[in-house]
Structures are given as C-alpha cells and as structure tokens.
Amino acid sequence: MKPKKYYDRLKSAVLFLVLSFSVIACKNDDPDPIAIKNEQTVFMYMPWASNLLSAFRRNIDDMEKAILERGLRNEKVLVFLAETPTQASLFEFVYNKSPFYPAEKKKVTRKVLKEYRFSSTPEYTTTAGISSILKDVRSYAEARRYGMVIGCHGMGWLPVVPTKKKTLRSSRQTDKEMPEVYKKHWEYTDRPMTRYFGGFDSNIRQKSKHLPTR
C-alpha cells in the first residue's frame, strides 16, 4: 500500500471517530424531554366541614358515576377528602374496562395515593398546606392542563335571596322581626368585585398564591 493512500485512509478513520464522538456527546448533553402522556388532571379538593361532609360524599359519588358512564381518556381525577379535622386522604379514580368484557363489566375503583394526619389546626386550609397538596397532585398525576373543584361554603357566586329575618331591639321596637337587607356582591361600592370561598374568609384572587410553580 502506498504511503499516501495509507495516510488518507487513516485521516478518514480519525475524522469518522471524531464525528461519532461529537454526536454522542451532543446527545448526552441535551437529553430528550420526558413526554407527558396525561392530557388533563381534575382535582376535587374537599376540606373538612361537618355540615358539608354528606354533600361532599354525594359529589364524589356523582363523579364516580360519571366516570363509569363515559370513561377516562388521557385524563385523571384525584380527590382530597378530609373526613375529620385532622385526617384526610388523597385518592384517584381508576377506570377499568377490558375490550374482552361486555359493557356491564366496566368498573371504577378508588386508589388511595396518600394519607394525611394534621394538627388540631388543619394545615390543609393554609396557603402552605394547600400548596403542598397541589404539589402532591402534580407528582401523582402530572398533566398538560389542570382543573380544580373546591368544596366549601362560598359568597358572591350567585345572588342571595332575602329569606332570613333578624330581630331588632331598640327603645322603640322590642322583639320585632324585620326582613334582613341583602345585597348582591356587585352592589357594594366599598368592596372589591370578587368572589370568596370558605364562606367569606378567602378571596379567590389569593388562590394563585397556593398554586405551585414548575
């Protein structure tokens, strides 16, 4: 073999090795992003309320029936339910349907993801507590989109019908019942045009502080 041809082949081999190493190095430096298979996660947040617990359970049962009827398509539904002031659980509705079974064999199960134990002052109603729960939701069911259902008393979402009465006592009136005056939330000139959850304790605008950032 002539020296020139030998050196030409040697240079080609070295160049090929250098290019191969460069491609491998670039691939290792820039890993492919992990694809998110779940399109949407719906989160039902049901904190403790003694006079609302039965309503929460009915809402959860209705959601389960809806999932059984229509199924889940690239989506997940998670529920946070506090059944006492200090105990709660986070569970997921799991929809099962085999193509080999008839329609009546469909079923929905509740898969417990996490159990919570709180102090006497429920942490799940604080900004830090709600934020922590939302992070758990994202870790168990990361998605491209999220929806949240909040179970609680509220104010300002719908006009209030003046059905209650209050008793007025003064030097001129004694134990006389008069209809209490109600105003729609947009009729107040000295208050912001907003809505509240948890009665009137938490402004809905503050909810953004609970949402975790990526």
Strand-pair partners of 87: 117
In a domain, 5, yes or no: no
Q: Which domain holds residue 88?
A: 40-153
pLDDT at 127 over 60: yes
CATH of residue 47: 3.40.50.11970
Q: In angstroms, rounded to a whole number, what is the distance separating the alpha carbons of residues 98 and 105?
A: 8
Indicate whether 72 belongs to any domain: yes
For residue 25, the model assigns a pLDDT of 42
User: For the chain, how many structural domains are there in total?
Assistant: 1
Query: Which DSSP symbol is given to 19?
Result: H
For the four alpha carbons of 84, 80, 131 and 115, in that order, the dihedral sign comes to: positive
Residue 161: inside a domain: no
Residue 18 has pLDDT above 90, yes or no: no
Residue 4 domain flag: no
Instruction: Give the tokens for residue 119.
Output: 């102090």
What is the rounded average pLDDT for all residues in the chain? 73
Per-residue pLDDT, averaged over 179-208, amounts to: 58
| Contact by Cβ (8 Å): 111, 140 | no
Report the pLDDT value the prediction gives residue 23, as an integer from 0 to 100. Answer: 40
Q: d(Cα 93, Cα 112) in Å, to the nearest integer?
A: 9
Q: Check residue 75 and give its pLDDT.
A: 94
Q: What is residue 83's three-state secondary structure?
A: coil
Q: Is residue 169 part of a domain?
A: no
Residue 97: inside a domain, yes or no? yes
Report yes or no on 64 lying in a domain. Answer: yes
Residue 84 lies inside a defined structural domain of this protein: yes
Using alpha carbons only, what angle is made at residue 109 by residues 107 and 114, rounded to the nearest 5 degrees? 165
The residue-averaged pLDDT of 200-206 equals 54
Residue 141: partners with Cβ closer than 8 Å, 6 or more residues away: 38, 41, 76, 78, 92
